[in-house]
Chains A and B, each alone.
Chain A
Amino acid sequence: MHELSIANSLVETAAEAACDAGASKVTVVHLRLGLMAGVVKSSLEFCFELAAQDTLLEGSRLEIEQLPVEIYCPACQEVLELASVQWFHCPRCDTPSDDIRQGKELEIESLEIETE
């Protein structure tokens, strides 16, 4: 259950940014989460609530944007969305590629904050 460690880092990082911006409260956290980030969305949502307690993020909503995996195909010379994370091959021409261009994101995009 590593999502609790992730949630703690998430809250810590967000609270720091919010504090620096002079926020009194965070209402929404926008998170970008790649399919290959190794994080289960529902577990993270559950842990987030716990981790947010007694911080600027208490009671805030976690909005997760899930990102599919995209690879660069050296044959097609194009970035394409993988059909399955069990098959790191170009969905068009089947050339093997693990040149991942999207799908490992685990980052805070923005916060909705209130200042006094």
Chain B
Amino acid sequence: MKPRILEVRTKVLKKNDELARQLRSDFSAAGVLAINLVSSPGTGKTTLLESTLGRLKQAGERCVAIVGDLATDNDARRLARSGVPVRQIETGGCCHLEADMIRDNLAEWKLTDYDYLFIENVGNLVCPTSWDLGEALRVVLLSVTEGEDKPLKYPGLFNTADVAVVTKIDLAIPCEFDRQAAHDNIHAVRPGMPILETSAKAETGMKSWIEYLQQQRDQLKARYEADRALRQA
């Protein structure tokens, strides 16, 4: 027996990362903006998404949604009411979604038929952090009922997000929500991150949120076209 050192230098999540990279390039080529919604349970991911799907559909945009849930299909049934195609991933106790789950659930959709893919991750502020799903946009939600210090308690997830959405803003006053502290804490762990404030129920801030998404999708398409022109040149 000869003991020896074998240099490996390989990322543990290499397979997930490679698949996510492939998905990202597929989404981009098809002009689909993929959005990964992450938050703790009860922040209002499904409520925000229900309202978002309805509004985008009304604006003539074509959406699909994949929703991860530990054990029920309640969220998928709620989202299906919007008339948008929805796939449910029952993770069976798994606390996060992984790129292969997304790939498997995309199989029956033709990506070029759609403009937006929403992925509602499992409600959890820790576990989804490390798994790239190929999204263009990671959206972290923070509800006014949760407390302003969530970003400081979970810097990992907030740091990997591209935009923060403060939800249930209609409850800010009864919850004595300290808006400035929440913004400061978000920016402490992710300097410069855009923050939007919404209430899907009271229909506050939804217009800005929808416009933000549309802008992001336009930018994605413009970037892809510019890259393609550059490659052809």
Residue A75 at the chain B interface, CB threshold 8 Å: no
Which of B24-32, B186-194, B204-212 lies on the face that meets chain A?
B186-194
Contacts of A18 in B (CB 8 A): 6
Query: Per-position contact with A for B84-123: 1 when CB-CB < 8 Å, else 0?
Result: 0000000000111010000000000000000000000000
Q: Report the Cα distance A55→B7, complex, angstroms.
A: 19
Do B159 and A36 touch (CB < 8 A)?
yes
Contacts of B190 in A (CB 8 A): 88, 98
Do B189 and A88 touch (CB < 8 A)?
yes
Contacts of A1 in B (CB 8 A): 95, 127
Contacts of B2 in A (CB 8 A): 114-115
Q: Report the Cα distance A109→B94, complex, angstroms.
A: 27
Do B126 and A110 touch (CB < 8 A)?
no
Q: Report the Cα distance A38→B127, complex, angstroms.
A: 7
Query: Per-position contact with B for A14-35: 1 when CB-CB < 8 Å, else 0?
Result: 1001100101110100010000
Q: Which residue of B lies closest to A14 (CB)?
A: B8
Given contacts A1-B95, A37-B130, contact A116 B189 (CB under 8 A): no
Do A114 and B1 touch (CB < 8 A)?
yes
Query: Per-position contact with A for B1-40: 1 when CB-CB < 8 Å, else 0?
Result: 1111111111111111000000000000000000000000
Do B1 and A110 touch (CB < 8 A)?
no
Contacts of B126 in A (CB 8 A): 2, 38
Partner of A107, one of B9, B15, B152: B9
Residue A77 at the chain B interface, CB threshold 8 Å: no
Do A108 and B156 touch (CB < 8 A)?
no
Do B130 and A86 touch (CB < 8 A)?
no
Contacts of B12 in A (CB 8 A): 6, 9-10, 13, 31, 106-108
Overall SS of chain B's interface: mixed
Contacts of B9 in A (CB 8 A): 107-110
Given contacts A27-B3, A88-B190, contact A109 B8 (CB under 8 A): yes
Q: Report the Cα distance A24→B95, complex, angstroms.
A: 34
Given contacts A37-B130, A108-B12, A109-B8, contact A5 B94 (CB under 8 A): yes
Contacts of A59 in B (CB 8 A): none
Contacts of A116 in B (CB 8 A): 1
Q: Report the Cα distance A39→B95, complex, angstroms.
A: 13
Do A112 and B192 touch (CB < 8 A)?
no
Give the Cβ gap from B71 to chain A, nearest Cβ, in Å: 15
Residue B54 at the chain A interface, CB threshold 8 Å: no
Which residues of A pack against B, CB within 8 Å? 1-2, 5-6, 9-10, 13-14, 17-18, 21, 23-25, 27, 31, 36-39, 85-89, 96-98, 100, 106-116
Could you name 7 residue pairs across A and B whose Cβ atoms are closer than 8 Å?
A: A13-B10, A13-B15, A38-B127, A38-B130, A88-B191, A98-B192, A113-B4
* Additional A-B contact list (10), CB under 8 Å, known A6-B13, A88-B189, A111-B5: A2-B130, A9-B13, A36-B159, A37-B130, A38-B127, A85-B159, A108-B9, A112-B3, A112-B6, A113-B5
